[in-house]
Amino acid sequence: MKKILLLVATLLGVTPTIGLGQTSTSPFDILITGGRVVDGTGNPWFLADVGIRDGRITALGKLEKSEAKRVIDATGLVVAPGFIDLHTHSDGQLLQDGLAQSKIRQGVTLDIAGESSSQGPRDGLVETEVGGRNRNTGDWDTFTGYFERLKTQGISMNLITHVSYHQVRRVVKGFDETPATRLELDRMKELTARSMEEGAWGLVTRFTSGGPQHPEEVVELAKVVASYGGNYTSHHGSEGFEQEKEIDFAIRIAEEVQIPVHLFHFKIRARENWGTISRYIDQIDAARARGLDITANQYPYTAMFHGWSAFFPLWVREGGAERFTERLRDESLREQIKTDPDFIVWAEEHGWWEGIVLARASTPEVQKYEGMRVVEIAAALGVTDPADVVIDLMAMEGGSISGVFHTMSEEDVRLIMQQPWVSIASDGSAINLDAPGVPHPRNYGTVPRILGHYVRDEGVLSLEDAVRKMTSLPAQVLGLADRGQVRQGFVADLTVFDPDQIAETNSLNPMPLVSLMFWSMGLW
């Protein structure tokens, strides 16, 4: 059975409260007065007080004379549902630090995690086999064990996680890329079913270009998830090069399995592809016109975040980090690396040397260049060819540097944003203000960038539609029946902010800092 990890509710013993249309003489736990309610549906804002009891909204209207244990004066402010981030990598980060300041400070009350890997299943895997941004050092095998660990440690927000097809496959087949046998596929289906029963929300896939290597396996696991009422979510890697094929596969899943389908970070990268996004919008619109439930999300930036290792051809990286580093340090291979088409094309697609930023490193010798573009580092070092800088720094770091890549067009970002079936999601993590390096600003600034820059300053979206894209639309995508709206009977995940002051205060410079006009109240 699908379930949401409602940590605050679990720890505080919140229970259902008065139903719709009922009244009570007992005081509210919290009363928010005088605010402009943007209820999440897209309807125009309205003036109303919000009464909360036992973690749910029990009254809307003129309530200023009512008794309450705590009163919040929201005069001149907006009261909205807590924001739901449909695409995050918070599952591992929350284990390290449950405060999740980068999310709570934005008014995000629910994160959705799980992508290339997930925290379950892990049967038989060791730490070094997990890898990726969700790498952890836990000793559990199942989602139940992961959720229990979160409850024990405590987190400040709510969490949903999908089960990753790739994680399931790794448990069953390790690094063997051959098709699953019938017995192996049966085991994969069993693990998927168990994960859904333990609380996973749906199936997620992540392919780098063109679609899954073993599509029939994905179809079979999607059928298992559909039987539990879950959804299918897909990360598309080509981002404009083989995107038609990737969307075609998502459409196939929606049609063949009869399951809702959601697409991660809908976008176009590489200057040569700019302006082509409309063909993929048309592709999705046509599928929706046929009755297929397909939605997408985006983050509101023209820069992406990735490891620098993706620069390098597979022959350079194969054999693990040690062999990778040896090849980077081998001067006899340098020209072969620099002239490899994969190396050149990847750099061109991701902003070339003037558009690629060194965001995070681990050694002091390299950390001093964090926040600088490759061309700036080359100039500082007096190096003629920036490609040499990339190879040298990667060799010093043992093949592990993270970067920000300026590779998308603002016009494409705005066009995607205006599609009614596109929600806003960060593709970031629940991290804190002392996060190392120069994190992508989406970790801290996705919500205020939308509400400040794109709504107030640029008028790309109305306030009501922007809130809808971060509340009721994500709730609809997830099938959440009592979240995402300021509505009587709904869970009181609420956010209060100043629409005139809210702004993104972080950048690609070091020491990001967020100070926003928010009270993110969770469920209490």
Query: In CATH, what number is assigned to the domain containing residue 235?
Result: 3.20.20.140
3 within some domain? no
Task: Kindly report which listed range (189-203, 250-264, 303-317) carries the lowest average pLDDT score.
Answer: 303-317
201 within some domain? yes
Residue 505, pLDDT above cutoff 50: yes
39 within some domain? no
The DSSP secondary structure of 466-516, one letter per residue, reads HHHHTTHHHHHHHT-SS-SS--TTSB--EEEE-TTT------SSSS-----
Mean pLDDT for the chain overall = 88
* Residue 469: pLDDT band with limits 50, 70, 90: very high
189 and 291 co-located in one domain? yes
203 and 273 co-located in one domain? yes
285 and 390 co-located in one domain? no
Task: Kindly report which listed range (182-191, 305-314, 476-485) carries the lowest average pLDDT score.
Answer: 305-314
Last residue of a domain, one of 261, 278, 296: 296
411 within some domain? no
The DSSP secondary structure of 237-248, one letter per residue, reads SSSSSSHHHHHH
pLDDT at site 2: 52
| More confidently predicted of 436 and 31 | 31
Identify the three-state secondary structure at position 208.
coil
321 and 375 co-located in one domain? yes
187 and 267 co-located in one domain? yes
pLDDT per residue as tens digits for the range 149-161: 999 999 999 999 9
226 and 314 co-located in one domain? no
What residue numbers bound the domain in which 333 lies? 305-406
Residue 109 φ/ψ, nearest 5 degrees: -110, -10
181 and 291 co-located in one domain? yes
pLDDT at site 21: 37
pLDDT per residue as tens digits for the range 87-146: 999 999 999 899 999 999 999 999 999 988 899 999 988 654 433 444 445 689 999 999
Task: Kindly report which listed range (14-18, 44-48, 424-428, 474-478) carries the lowest average pLDDT score.
Answer: 14-18
Number of domains in the chain: 2
Question: Half-sphere exposure of 408 toward its Cβ, with a 13 Å CA cutoff?
Answer: 24
Last residue of a domain, one of 296, 324, 357: 296
Scanning the structure block, which residue is given the tokens 């999740």?
100
pLDDT per residue as tens digits for the range 421-465: 999 999 999 988 777 777 888 889 999 999 999 999 999 999 999
314 and 396 co-located in one domain? yes
For residues 498-505, give the mean pLDDT: 91
pLDDT per residue as tens digits for the range 292-307: 999 999 999 998 888 8
pLDDT at site 127: 55
Residue 82 φ/ψ, nearest 5 degrees: -60, 140
- Pairing between strand 356-360 and 83-85? unpaired
Instruction: Give percent of the chain with pLDDT exceeding 70.
Output: 89
pLDDT at site 23: 45
Give the CA radius of gyration of the chain.
23
Q: How would you label 214-253 residue by residue, b for 16+ Cβ within 10 Å and e otherwise?
A: beebbbbbbbbbbebebbbbbbbbbbbbbbeebbebbbbb
Residue 16, pLDDT above cutoff 80: no
pLDDT at site 241: 77
pLDDT at site 9: 30
DSSP letter at 372 equals -
184 within some domain? yes
Residue 522, pLDDT above cutoff 60: no
The tokens of 344 are what? 């050149």
138 within some domain? no
- Pairing between strand 303-307 and 294-298? unpaired
pLDDT at site 212: 85
30 within some domain? no
* Residue 10: pLDDT band with limits 50, 70, 90: very low
323 and 227 co-located in one domain? no
Last residue of a domain, one of 406, 425, 442: 406
Cα–Cα distance measured from residue 150 to residue 6, given in angstroms and rounded to the nearest whole number: 11
270 and 357 co-located in one domain? no
